[in-house]
């Protein structure tokens, strides 16, 4: 039986979500729209199979075809990023990061990462997260203008001697200098983990430098700029050793340590439908037009940043080099929460965000975070960014005027109808 015959409630909610995605402007920088091929693989019978272990070394029978799928995903990941080892099993970005810490650290060891409220991720040592609770967490921040503070990073490292340095961000609009982070890690003999969740697609397109050859371990989600299904990968160099031998925590052993951290460390059965969809997404990302896609994401972000700056908005670090920007709304006398709500009524989806040295609270912060990956997937270019920048300004100036916001929503709907998404799809 089809979904809409067996469960109309779920089908109806999915149809509403589909229509929300089709008729609105999706500007949350961590979101994207996967291709129909990726969707098809994700909705496949791969979900039925248990296959704990790795290709050629499973704890279950009947794995010959999921081995093919996982090998395709692993080989494509290795070729695309230029590494010799890829683990494609982490269920999500958080799981990839937890596995890396589980692989390299003992409980109580010291790690150092960027503070969430300055653009880092909660898995980089936020006290209420696993990473801040089970390890001693040292947090670096940014300089007054919002750029990553490598000076502070170095002095904190020398003082606290972390065993793991984490670099990477979730709300950071500038190029990250992986080499500077390497110098900090080397100064204290620490491992360096680069979390490229947000910029993975831009690394593939050459719009952001790659940490390959610099970081010891690279973690990434597959569903952000990389435009794959929800999922993650851990990339490194070296080769895993044969199972069951005890391995020391050394640089050479990282591939083995990572594989064992995923299973039996923190996960059970791989999500084979997800792995199949990751394989498809990696094939798509290896095509020449993906490079164009990455370049356009950045062009769009720079255009939008210029439009907003012209309208008197203050951007953290003064602009963007990548796919996102953080707008500090303090000079507009409105909060991030109010703006998130107002833009939502105007059909523009964004998320509220803290700004460096946040004077308010994370639940009602001073900023919003805006990104262009999803709009770029729809085919929007600089001209649309000009128009959208104008609507964002209009919506923020009139944040409490619901009639005005509804009229912007009508215009948004008209624009999105010119950039079709999932034509003919229905649940
Ligand atoms: C999104 C993100 C993650 C977590 O990914 P989930 O799939 O949401 O668990 C980890 N690190 C960074 C830097 C991210 O941006």
For ligand 1, atom 6, the nearest C-alpha belongs to 93
Question: Phi and psi dihedrals of 253, rounded to 5?
Answer: -90, 5
**Mean pLDDT, to the nearest integer, of 79-101?**
98
For ligand 1, atom 4, the nearest C-alpha belongs to 93
Distance CA 75, CA 128 (A): 36
Task: Report CA dihedral (144, 145, 148, 154) to the nearest 10 degrees.
Answer: -40
Distance CA 88, CA 279 (A): 9
pLDDT at 145: 92
* Pair 191, 185: CB distance under 8 Å: yes
User: Domain coordinates of the chain in residue numbers?
Assistant: 3-30+290-417, 40-285
How many angstroms is it from 401 CA to the middle of ligand 1?
35
Distance CA 41, CA 274 (A): 8
**Mean pLDDT, to the nearest integer, of 265-282?**
98
DSSP state of 156: H
Q: Which of 89, 90, 101, 123 to mutate to test the pocket of ligand 1 (most atoms within 8 A of CB)?
A: 123
For 3-30+290-417, CATH gives: 3.90.1150.10
**Mean pLDDT, to the nearest integer, of 168-181?**
98
| Tokens (6 digits) for 151 | 């000076």
Indicate which atom in ligand 1 lies nearest the CA of residue 230. 7
How many angstroms is it from 30 CA to the middle of ligand 1?
8
How many angstroms is it from 169 CA to the middle of ligand 1?
9
Distance CA 348, CA 387 (A): 12
Unique residue bearing structure tokens 């080099």: 321
pLDDT at 240: 83
For ligand 1, atom 3, the nearest C-alpha belongs to 93
How many angstroms is it from 62 CA to the middle of ligand 1?
32
Q: Which of 94, 115, 166, 218 to mutate to test the pocket of ligand 1 (most atoms within 8 A of CB)?
A: 94
Question: Phi and psi dihedrals of 218, rounded to 5?
Answer: -120, 125
Q: Do domains 3-30+290-417 and 40-285 have the same CATH topology?
A: no
Which residues are designated catalytic? 50, 52, 195, 221, 224, 230
Does the pLDDT at position 335 exceed 90? yes
Does the pLDDT at position 95 exceed 90? yes
In sequence order, the β-bridge partners of residue 326 are: 369
Handedness of CA 31, 35, 38, 40 (dihedral sign): positive
How many angstroms is it from 252 CA to the middle of ligand 1?
26
**Mean pLDDT, to the nearest integer, of 318-340?**
97
Q: Which of 28, 29, 93 to mutate to test the pocket of ligand 1 (most atoms within 8 A of CB)?
A: 93
DSSP state of 370: E
How many angstroms is it from 277 CA to the middle of ligand 1?
18
Picking from 315, 318, 343, 341, the residue whose alpha carbon sits closest to that of residue 330 is 315
Does residue 111 sit in helix, strand or coil?
Answer: strand
Does residue 121 sit in helix, strand or coil?
Answer: coil
List, for residues 204-238, the tens digit of each pLDDT value.
999 999 999 999 999 999 999 999 999 999 999 98
Helices (H) and strands (E) in the chain, counts: 16, 15
pLDDT at 262: 98
CA atoms within 13 A on the CB side of 150: 13
Q: Which of 170, 226, 353 to mutate to test the pocket of ligand 1 (most atoms within 8 A of CB)?
A: 170
DSSP state of 234: E
Indicate which atom in ligand 1 lies nearest the CA of residue 93. 5
* Pair 254, 235: CB distance under 8 Å: no
- Number of residues written out for the chain: 427
Residue 239 — very low, low, confident or very high, per pLDDT cuts 50/70/90? Answer: confident
List, for residues 403-416, the tens digit of each pLDDT value.
999 999 999 999 99
**Mean pLDDT, to the nearest integer, of 390-394?**
98
For ligand 1, atom 10, the nearest C-alpha belongs to 93
User: Checking phi first, is residue 220 left (phi over 0); if not, alpha (psi -120 to 50) or beta?
Assistant: beta
List, for residues 39-81, the tens digit of each pLDDT value.
999 999 999 999 999 999 999 999 999 999 999 999 999 999 9
How many angstroms is it from 257 CA to the middle of ligand 1?
21
Answer whether CATH 3.30.70.120 is correct for domain 40-285.
no
List, for residues 241-257, the tens digit of each pLDDT value.
766 678 899 999 999 99
Indicate which atom in ligand 1 lies nearest the CA of residue 224. 1
List, for residues 128-152, the tens digit of each pLDDT value.
999 999 999 999 999 999 999 999 9
| Tokens (6 digits) for 108 | 């109580």
Please give all residues whose beta carbon lies within 6 A of any atom in ligand 1, as ranges: 30, 92-94, 97, 121, 123, 168-170, 195, 197-198, 221, 232
List, for residues 354-390, the tens digit of each pLDDT value.
999 999 999 999 999 999 999 999 999 999 999 999 9
| 285 membership: H or E segment, kind and range | helix 272-285
């Amino acid at each position: 039986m089809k979904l809409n015959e067996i469960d109309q409630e779920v089908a109806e909610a999915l149809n509403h979500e589909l229509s929300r995605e089709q008729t609105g402007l999706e500007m949350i920088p961590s979101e994207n729209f996967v291709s129909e091929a990726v969707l098809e693989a994700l909705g496949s019978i791969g979900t039925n199979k248990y296959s704990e272990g790795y290709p050629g070394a499973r704890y279950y029978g009947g794995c010959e075809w999921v081995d093919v799928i996982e090998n395709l995903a692993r080989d494509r990941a290795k070729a695309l990023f230029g590494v010799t080892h890829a683990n494609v099993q982490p269920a999500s970005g958080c799981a990839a990061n937890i596995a890396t810490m589980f692989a390299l650290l003992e409980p109580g060891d010291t790690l150092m990462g960027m503070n969430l409220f300055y653009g880092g991720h909660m898995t980089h040592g936020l006290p209420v997260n696993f990473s801040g609770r089970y390890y001693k967490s040292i947090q670096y921040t940014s300089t007054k203008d919002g750029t990553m503070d490598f000076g502070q990073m170095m002095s904190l490292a020398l003082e606290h001697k972390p065993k793991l340095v984490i670099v990477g961000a979730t709300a950071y609009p500038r190029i990250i200098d992986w080499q500077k982070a390497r110098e900090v890690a080397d100064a204290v003999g620490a491992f360096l983990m680069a979390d490229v969740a947000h910029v993975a697609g831009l690394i593939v397109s050459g719009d952001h430098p790659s940490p390959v050859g610099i970081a010891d371990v690279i973690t990434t989600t597959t569903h952000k700029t990389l435009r794959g299904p929800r999922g993650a990968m851990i990339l490194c160099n070296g080769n895993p050793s044969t199972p069951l031998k005890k391995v020391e925590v050394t640089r050479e052993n990282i591939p083995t340590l990572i594989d064992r951290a995923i299973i039996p460390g923190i996960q059970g059965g791989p999500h084979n439908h997800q792995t199949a969809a990751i394989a498809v997404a990696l094939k798509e990302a290896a095509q020449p037009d993906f490079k164009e896609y990455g370049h356009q994401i950045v062009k769009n972000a720079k255009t939008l940043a210029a439009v907003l700056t012209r309208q008197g908005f203050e951007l953290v670090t003064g602009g963007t080099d990548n796919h996102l920007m953080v707008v500090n709304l303090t000079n507009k006398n409105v909060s991030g929460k109010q703006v998130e709500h107002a833009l939502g009524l105007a059909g523009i989806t964004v998320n509220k965000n803290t700004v460096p040295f946040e004077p308010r609270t994370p639940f009602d912060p001073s900023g919003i975070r805006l990104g262009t990956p999803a709009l770029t997937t729809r085919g929007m270019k600089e001209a649309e960014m000009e128009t959208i920048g104008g609507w964002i300004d209009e919506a923020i100036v009139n944040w409490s005027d619901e009639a005005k916001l509804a009229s912007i929503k009508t215009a948004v709907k008209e624009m999105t109808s010119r950039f079709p998404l999932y034509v003919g799809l229905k649940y």
